[in-house]
Homo-oligomer: A and B are copies of this chain.
Amino acid sequence: MRSPKPLIASFHLSEPGAPEPPIHRAASLAEEVYEAIFARLMALKIAPGSRITVDNLVRELAVSQTPIREALGRLEGEGLVVKTHLVGYSAAPQITRRRFEELYELRLLLEPEAAHRAAQVMTEAALAELTEAAGVMHRSGGADERGRYSRFARQDAVFHDKIVAVAGNELIRETLAHQHTHFHIFRLMFHARVTEEALDEHEAILAAFAARDADAARRVMRTHIERSYARLLPAFDS
């Protein structure tokens, strides 16, 4: 990474002759740094467990240490990086098998109920959005393998998120979304090319919503998560 392109070209010059409204830069530098590091984590540009030196970030992002430390602290609070005293920051380690099982146990407790509730309050507009999010349209978009999986990962995330959003409990939604960031990194390590089956199951969920069948929605969501678990479990046999 030899691209020292600064986030903001020149920060401290505010010429009175140039009345540029600084409205477009409402976010603080620390926030931009946060997003930059978050993106690198999600794209696996920073491997799980590897060190994160603030000095490198200073050079790469062209900002001083303070906002970087602040952003790193926030990421630590969210569990994405860990800090060892007098050693430094590092990306959170890869998810363990035990943690993986716990995550699916949690999902199994929350998401089927969310689907049940969502089916009861599903509107026509929400259903259309959900169908759009499921991406059943451009299913056979013949891109390369990696690109296809990348798109599926994004679709899968928003699909499940939207269901929980329709169900209405924002707290549960945040909880699952937060866990999903960890899960995403794990899943990216293996190019699990099991998208076809998952897409079928997504359609089954949609069908239950379309029929406003709450019990079926809960049941098929449970099956979907259980199968997802089974599909991903072999990844630990490496």
Q: What residues of chain A have their CB less than 8 Å away from a CB belonging to chain B?
A: 26-28, 30-31, 66, 69-78, 83, 85-86, 98-99, 102-103, 105-106, 109-110, 113, 169-172, 175, 179
Contact = CB atoms under 8 A, between A and B. Distances in A.
Contact of A70 (B73, B106, B170): B73
Contacts of A78: 77-78
Contact of A74 (B73, B85, B110): B73
A27 B72 CA distance: 17
4 interchain residue pairs of minimum CB distance: A77-B77, A73-B73, A74-B77, A102-B171
A28 B71 CA distance: 17
18 contacts: A26-B85, A31-B85, A66-B66, A69-B69, A69-B70, A74-B74, A74-B76, A75-B77, A77-B78, A102-B170, A102-B171, A105-B171, A105-B172, A106-B169, A106-B172, A106-B175, A110-B110, A175-B175
Contacts of A77: 73-78
